[in-house]
Amino acid sequence: MIEIGRTILSRDIFEKQFLCNISLCKGACCIEGDSGAPLTDDEAITIELEYEKYKEYLPENHINEIEKQGFSVIDSDGDLVTPLVDNRQCVFSFYDERGILKCAIEKAYFAEKLSFRKPVSCHLFPIRITEYKRFDAVNYEQLDICKPGRECGIAEKLPLYKFLKEPLIRKYGEEWYKEVEAAGEYLEKQ
């Protein structure tokens, strides 16, 4: 474990290699799992307030689910998460013309319709953060659905922390990430 600021990072963040290969996994992270994507209170509010800006990208049955469930729900663990369609697929996702699951919120972001990209938990995946009173535990969640991402990361020799530079900075800031880079460089020399 590596301690940086108020975070404790698993060595896997530095030692495992990863590069998402969505053409092979087909966006499985939007459909697999025990519940929806974790949300902060602010993210849940933003998702609701910005709805009209991404609604056009959602399938009709997802819009109906949002009307039934709302923009966020509490899961069986008591966590605030995105709602699911058929207890499986994120309500904010859609299939593109190639059969790949994509995020409607992120599509609106790239179309410059809103400034919020997507929930940070989605942006950070396959890193998962567990927040405790005194620290955040930053861990790599190694799932079978991400095997193509691991293989691609190994081929490109891309450490997980480098692949997820943008969302890690989004979550913890530039200065924190510089310390992560320094730790990564130190560990590589070991």
Q: Residue 91: its pLDDT value, please? A: 97
Do residue 88 and residue 131 come from a single domain? no
Is 87 part of any domain?
yes
Could you read off the pLDDT of 105-142 as tens digits, one per residue?
A: 999 999 999 999 999 999 999 999 999 999 999 999 99
Do residue 13 and residue 30 come from a single domain? no
Which among 83, 114, 145 is the end of a domain?
Answer: 114
Domain that holds residue 96: 26-114
Number of domains within the chain: 2
On average, the pLDDT of the chain sits at 94
Is 121 part of any domain?
no
94, two tokens: 């859609």
Is 157 part of any domain?
yes
Q: Residue 68: its pLDDT value, please? A: 97
pTM listed for this prediction: 0.89
The strand ranges marked E within 141-186 are: none
Do residue 30 and residue 14 come from a single domain? no
Q: Between β-strands 93-95 and 101-103, what pairing exists: parallel, antiparallel or unpaired?
A: antiparallel
Judged by phi (left if over 0) then psi (alpha if -120 to 50, else beta), residue 176 lies in alpha
Is 171 part of any domain?
yes
- The CA distance from 114 to 111, in Å, is 8
Is 45 part of any domain?
yes
Residues 6+ apart with CB under 8 A from 53: 108, 113, 114
Is 133 part of any domain?
yes
Low-confidence residues in the chain, pLDDT < 70: none
